[in-house]
């Protein structure tokens, strides 16, 4: 089954990345590490690699970096976000 278009993040070549909100800060269903820190699972299509991105210390966002090209993106935490925990990311070099 192909990924839901809402769960795909496309990064611009020349400008800043475009991202979608990840989840609500009060989301009790968020995936959590054994220590309880919420995370997202990302598949970088351009690098053909999976990675886990943890919520920042302030609890406001998930900051990710492509393991191949180094482009960064931010998944904001806030009301009206997605309950999805897995995203496919594609960035062009």
DSSP letter string, 13-65? SSS-------B-TT-TT--B-TTS-BEEEEEETTTTEEEEEEBPTTSSEEEEE
What residue numbers bound the domain in which 73 lies? Answer: 5-90
Q: Tell me the pLDDT tens digit for each residue of 38-66.
A: 999 999 998 899 999 999 999 999 999 99
Query: How confident is the prediction for the chain on average, in pLDDT?
Result: 74
Question: What is the model's pTM?
Answer: 0.60
Q: Tell me the pLDDT tens digit for each residue of 4-19.
A: 555 555 544 334 444 4
Number of domains in the chain: 1
């Amino acid at each position: 089954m192909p990924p839901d278009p809402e769960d795909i993040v496309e990064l611009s070549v020349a400008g800043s990345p475009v991202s979608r909100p990840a989840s609500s800060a009060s989301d009790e269903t968020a995936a959590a590490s054994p220590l309880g820190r919420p995370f997202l699972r990302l598949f970088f299509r351009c690098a053909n690699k999976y990675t886990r991105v943890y919520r920042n210390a302030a609890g406001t966002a998930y900051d990710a970096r492509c393991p191949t090209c180094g482009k960064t993106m931010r998944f904001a935490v806030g009301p009206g976000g997605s309950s999805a925990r897995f995203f496919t990311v594609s960035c062009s070099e």
